[in-house]
Structure 1
Amino acid sequence: MIEARKLTKRLVDGKTVLADVDFTAERGQFTAVAGASGSGKSMLLKCLALRENWTSGRLLLDGEDVFKGGWKAKMRVKREIAYLEEKPDLNPNRTALKNALVGTRYQTPLWRRMIGSVRNDDYMGVMDVLEQVGLLDKAHMKASALSGGERQRVAITRALVHGARALLLDEPVTGLDPHSAERILTDLKAMCERGIAIVAVLSNLEWAEKFADRIVGLSEGRVVFDVAGRRLTGRERSML
């Protein structure tokens, strides 16, 4: 479980982008984070993934304070929590398979990495996940030839073969056609059933209502509601 307690983030100009945020992400749960532009959604995910430092508050992983646990606890966060940006960071000249294989290097002995050696088990593991996300037939296509939705699924595959137990996704379906968006969200929902924690920033509230087990609303850096996944009330929508 990922838990943030009273997380506050102030920028160098003094602007507060997160204010006393309490947040949890449970394994096997799909949590949608909703809010207007500038509400702190992306910053929250970056702090949870240690992509950004925070001003005050605590971050715990399975009850262990990340900073009190020292570098080992921080490495565990980086190993187990994957942060995926809106636009996947893929090498356009590499195939889907080779982009996803990047995730296996964190579990490969240093000497193998130095000589560029990849085990057959790594290939098979990546191919298995590509099949799960419906990209087995695109494994040998370059990333530049894939659609936006397909590139997002390659990035998800890479995170899973890296060994991630939680996926933090910043606008994973923004700009995608409805079919591609639904495919990705359906895949993410299925991953929850395998015990993976999913936290996704979703601007489209209808998607959040349909797929999320829990919806957290942010406004001006504060949590304004934290409810079970369902159709939001008019009042809740007006708070965003």
Structure 2
Amino acid sequence: MIVRHLEKGYPEHPVLKGLSFQADPGEFIAIVGASGSGKTTLLRCLTLQEAWNKGEYIFDGHNVLEGGPLAKWKVRRQWVSLQESTGLSPKKTAIESVLEARWSHMPLWRKIIRKSSMDEHVYSNDFLEKVGLLDKGHEKVEKLSGGEKQRVALARALIQEKKFIAADDPIKGLDPASVNRVMEDFRNVAKREKVLLVCAMQQLDLAERFATRIIGLSDGRIVLDVPARKLTTREKDLIL
């Protein structure tokens, strides 16, 4: 992914001001910054939920913004967004939630009869295992903790063979143990599955501990772009 000179805003209210960066498969990038710095707007632009005012967007070697509706639809199929609300059906089990995300890859006749194969069930279990939830496969979503729901949502994204996962504050409201597990899964999955994972968040300490790269925003501009590590006081002052 290559972003060049991204600008987004409204009359007399610029939000993103000429952002440029490159992001590669396997990276877990934490987008950090104070409230109103442009983190969510950046994610929405990267997933084409917001139109760009200006800029160039290269994904998989193609200029996304120059493509027509069909081209944009095709590239969107390689992306998924994770948010605080997972959108999972509370009455379905974890395995059913992951399995239903696999329908687009199944043969037409299976879609018609709405019946998955044993291989697909095994495959879905594999992805639950990747996020440490194999033992929760037959639990209904409504019985899962907030952190477990986020990990089911992550398994759904992976089984769809997505290349880019955008997560907007997905750990908000989770208990500390769940936060740590979700963040560990994000880092491990990005590295192991060669997925680009970009997460907008405010917690600098979590970005330092779990991300592979930190991009700091302030007033709609990139003021920091470093490999993840303990930030200096000066670097934190740039962001907050």
Farther off after superposition, 70-79 or 58-67: 70-79
DSSP 3-state at the match of 2:37: coil
For structure 1, list consecutive stretches of 5 or more residues without a partner in the other structure.
none
1:28-177 equivalent positions in 2, closer than 5 A: 28-71=26-69, 73-177=71-175
Alignment match, 1:19: 17
* Pair 1:204 & 2:194 matched: no
Alignment match, 2:187: 189
Q: What is the distance in 2 between the residues matched to 1:29 and 1:128? A: 22
Kept in 1, the 8 Å contact 2:28–2:196? The answer is yes
Q: What is the distance in 2 between the residues matched to 1:122 and 1:50? A: 31
Aligned residues: percent identity? 42
Q: CA deviation at 1:172?
A: 2.1
Matched letter for residue 65 of structure 1: N
DSSP 3-state at the match of 1:154: helix
Q: What is the distance in 2 between the residues matched to 1:86 and 1:29? A: 21
Farther off after superposition, 121-130 or 148-157: 121-130
Kept in 2, the 8 Å contact 1:4–1:60? The answer is yes
Kept in 1, the 8 Å contact 2:130–2:155? The answer is no
Q: Render the CA deviation track for 1:135-188: whole Å, top value 9, x for unaligned.
A: 111111111111000000010011011111221111122221221111111111
Matched letter for residue 224 of structure 1: V
Distance 1:78 1:119, change over 3 A: farther
Q: CA deviation at 1:37?
A: 1.1
DSSP 3-state at the match of 1:141: coil
What is the TM-score of this pair, normalised by structure 1? 0.92
DSSP 3-state at the match of 2:18: strand
Matched letter for residue 63 of structure 1: G
Q: What is the distance in 1 between the residues matched to 2:211 and 2:185? A: 12
Matched letter for residue 231 of structure 1: K
DSSP 3-state at the match of 1:67: helix
Q: What is the distance in 2 between the residues matched to 1:71 and 1:118? A: 31
Farther off after superposition, 84-93 or 61-70: 61-70
DSSP 3-state at the match of 1:226: strand
Q: What is the distance in 1 between the residues matched to 2:91 and 2:22? A: 38
Alignment match, 1:225: 224
Distance 1:56 1:180, change over 3 A: same
DSSP 3-state at the match of 1:180: helix
Matched letter for residue 167 of structure 2: L
Alignment match, 1:237: 236
Q: What is the distance in 2 between the residues matched to 1:19 and 1:109? A: 45
Poorly superposed stretches of 4+, deviation over 4 Å? none
Q: What is the distance in 1 between the residues matched to 2:93 and 2:40? A: 28
Kept in 2, the 8 Å contact 1:82–1:164? The answer is yes
Q: CA deviation at 1:233?
A: 1.4
Q: Render the CA deviation track for 1:96-149: whole Å, top value 9, x for unaligned.
A: 111112321222344432331323222211110101211111111111111000
For structure 2, list consecutive stretches of 5 or more residues without a partner in the other structure.
none
Q: CA RMSD in A?
A: 1.7
Q: CA deviation at 1:93?
A: 1.4
